[in-house]
């Protein structure tokens, strides 16, 4: 185990007030590297506000921003006009936060560059950070050699049903909401459904690594 210390934050989904409150709770940890696992936008009320917060926060902390499937859907809508899937999965709320309509997405240059420069993964000596997951049948090294498997880092869920994996290190991911963080052998899932008003969900979760200590904020955006 290396001496590196990290702080990973799960899916935010437009919950700007919850994110701001969680970052306040984490104010004493700015000496760590912060890894945000994606899905900053959609479904919640203030996607634009979330990105504004993240752009400001990266001025005071070392941040890695991963791409979620929702950021990919937004980029596909902008680049290819593929709006239907995005709009039916929470994109309308994002458009409203930017005061845009279904036919034109009005982003500032800074926000567009933020979305475009998000990463598909972040590899460290002890952890592999992705948005959704990776193939449970391949090593991490094998996944990184296959461009199609890398694309699935945004969507993968099959690892959640795997009894064992050949991974070289612990996978840290979001994407699949659970009432509690997923903590299994070589798996650490931190999407606790901040945007969902269902029993047991409605929390934004951060995890301190390597301690595996969780810090949570109850959703303030409902």
Catalytically annotated residue among 13, 70, 159, 175: 70
| Residue 197 predicted with pLDDT over 90 | no
- What length is written for the chain? 222
**Cβ contact 154:165 at 8 Å:** no
pLDDT at 40: 98
Whole-angstrom distance, CA of residue 209 vs CA of residue 34? 10
Q: For 156-165, write each residue's pLDDT tens digit.
A: 999 999 999 9
- Residues 6 or more apart whose Cβ sits within 8 Å of residue 4: 33, 124, 125, 126
Considering the entire predicted model, what is its pTM? 0.96
For 154, which DSSP code?
A: G
Indicate the pLDDT class of residue 126, thresholds 50, 70 and 90.
very high
- Whether the pLDDT of residue 1 is over 70: the answer is no
70 is catalytic: yes
Per-residue model confidence as pLDDT tens digits over 61-113: 999 999 999 999 999 999 999 899 999 999 999 999 999 877 678 899 999 99
Mean pLDDT across the stretch 186-202? Answer: 95
């Amino acid at each position: 185990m290396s001496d590196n210390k990290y702080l990973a934050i799960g899916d935010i989904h437009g919950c700007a007030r919850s994110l701001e409150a969680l970052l306040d709770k984490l104010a004493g940890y700015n000496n760590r590297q912060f890894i945000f696992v994606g899905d900053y936008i959609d479904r919640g009320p203030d996607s634009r506000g979330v990105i504004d917060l993240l752009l400001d926060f990266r001025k005071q902390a070392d941040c890695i921003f991963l791409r979620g499937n929702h950021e990919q859907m937004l980029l596909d809508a902008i680049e290819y006009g593929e709006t239907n899937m995005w709009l039916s999965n929470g994109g309308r709320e994002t458009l409203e936060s930017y005061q845009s309509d279904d036919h034109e997405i009005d982003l500032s240059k800074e926000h567009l560059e933020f979305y475009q420069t998000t990463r598909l993964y972040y590899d460290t000596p002890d952890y592999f950070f992705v948005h959704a997951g990776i193939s449970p049948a391949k090593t991490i090294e094998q996944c990184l050699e296959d461009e199609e498997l890398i694309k699935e880092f945004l969507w993968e869920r099959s690892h959640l049903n795997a009894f064992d994996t050949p991974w070289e290190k612990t996978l840290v991911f979001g994407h699949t909401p659970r009432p509690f963080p997923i903590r299994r052998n070589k798996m650490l899932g931190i999407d606790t459904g901040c945007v969902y008003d269902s029993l047991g969900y409605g929390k934004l979760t951060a995890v301190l690594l390597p301690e595996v200590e969780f810090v949570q904020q109850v959703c303030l955006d409902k």
